[in-house]
A and B are shown apart, each in its own frame.
Chain A
Amino acid sequence: MSLQVSDLAFSYGSKTALDNVSFAVERGRFAALLGPNGAGKSTLFSLLTRLFVTQAGTICIAGHDLKVSPLAAMADLGVVFQQTTLDLDLTVRQNLRYFAALHGISGRVADRRIDAALERLGMAERAAEKARGLNGGHRRRTEIARALLHDPKVLLLDEPTVGLDAPTRAALTQHIHDLCSDTGVTVLWATHLTDEVLDSDQVILLHRGRVLADGRCDALRGAAPLTEYFAHMTGASA
């Protein structure tokens, strides 16, 4: 298993945010963490990225227990946060160089990887532009390119399409699916938009801090469209 979460629980004071959450994602799979707003997706991401420490349960990233060997786990993890984390005054390349250095990659190796990552995301010709001048879609692509610089085994994306127009959203979703099958990177993609999920994807349905369903999208939804299934599941338990 590339990403394994077992019996995870987390609460803010007396308010429970995650309750007994368990799931696993195999290597090279695209897993959609589907849940309405307030389902606990952001809390889960904060735990996965070690912004919070787990109160109960375990997280394993590429075989590294986050509690036992956090640095090894973080080295194998790529993250695209919901809010932009680009330095707007710096160029695309400077942003990526900074991040590469945080992972200990510098000099020519860094430049080579940056070129490759930007090329992949179709951003090569914008390397010298300032992040401030980029539109939302290009900013996102830059962040995805950045998250791939250190060859992570697991890529986390927290609602990466928020604020993007429909065509950009579709292109980005497709791109990450391709990335999954081409490079074997494991993806956990948090969203509340069902149209970003393909039938062959794994769906982890999170609602009110609990996993309601976990399985292949087509198997879960049956004959109904995913949107309907999603509404039914989250509405039924409301």
Chain B
Amino acid sequence: MRHALIAMRAIVLREALRFVHQRERFIAALVRPLVWLLVFAAGFRAALGLSISPPYQTYITYETYIVPGLCGMILLFNGMQSSLSLVYDREMGSMRLLLTAPLSRTWLLFSKLLGSTIISILQVYAFLLVAWLFDITLPPLGYIAVLPALVLGGMMLGALGLALSSFIKQLENFAGVMNFVIFPMFFLSSALYPLWKMAESSELLHDICAANPFTHAVELIRFALYVEWNGMALLWTALATAAFMAFAVWGYDPARGMMTRKG
């Protein structure tokens, strides 16, 4: 057990060190949601009227509405990016090294996931801080209550990236998958528009959005930011995390998955 914890700490620490060395990544991760918040949202505010729906108790501006979605966006992009780096050969090398450690693969992958999730969460808080400077504020307790939601959401998206990385042979294919995963996941969710608004234009799209695990991760974050409970979103996110994690473990199983097909 001690061994497992020492290894986990080292894996998390390594992710953190790597992140510190890639300052551009941090800036990029911060600029992306800020552009959405400060440019996109400003433009859409006029076009989109939002009525009161839980967890909001008053009329809200569009900027306020998309903050949880943009938190989700940071987790989504980070989750995918850290697994994208796994596809690079150099990373494959360090992945090989990691997998030769005398610990169970599930534990090793879980530790890696935890490391990248912690990095994502730091970025989310940096984003919330900048949003706060622009007067988009949340209940003070919300900043704390959102932490478990961010952990779970980050783990879910990281596990998805990890699962995808195990099934993709080349980086070129990965770019394609990104297009078919990141964008649909983001746009077919409640990140940018509430689901009831979606239902007005298309029932089918609404149903797809409602089934999208990213929607539930965003809703979990949204409710947590306002210190409210959303059991349904929690359940969905937890189930999706377990499913993606199972896929990742299966993909990195030595008997199958990327390694064998790579040879």
Contact = CB atoms under 8 A, between A and B. Distances in A.
A54 to B, nearest CB: 9
Interface residues of A, number: 33
A87 B11 CA distance: 12
A55 B118 CA distance: 38
A102 interface: yes
Interface string A79-90: 101011101011
Given A84-B90, A87-B94, A49 B10 contact: no
B85 to A, nearest CB: 12
B55 to A, nearest CB: 41
B101 A43 contact: no
B6 A101 contact: yes
A97 interface: yes
Nearest to B255: A53
A98 B98 CA distance: 10
Contacts of B173: none
B35 interface: no
B10 A101 contact: yes
Nearest to A17: B263
Contacts, number: 91
A105 B98 CA distance: 15
Contacts of B255: 52-53
B254 interface: yes
A49 B103 contact: no
Interface in A32-75: 42-43, 46, 49-53, 71-72, 74-75
Interface in B230-263: 253-255, 259-261, 263
A235 interface: no
A167 to B, nearest CB: 26
B97 interface: yes
A106 B6 contact: yes
B197 interface: no
Contacts of B13: 98
A128 B21 CA distance: 16
**The 7 residue pairs across chains A and B that have the minimum distance between CB atoms:** A104-B3, A101-B10, A102-B101, A85-B93, A53-B255, A75-B102, A74-B102
Given A52-B263, A98-B10, A71 B104 contact: yes
Interface in B51-101: 89-90, 92-94, 96-101
B2 A104 contact: yes
B111 to A, nearest CB: 10
Given A77-B100, A84-B90, A85-B97, A51 B3 contact: no
Contacts of A120: none
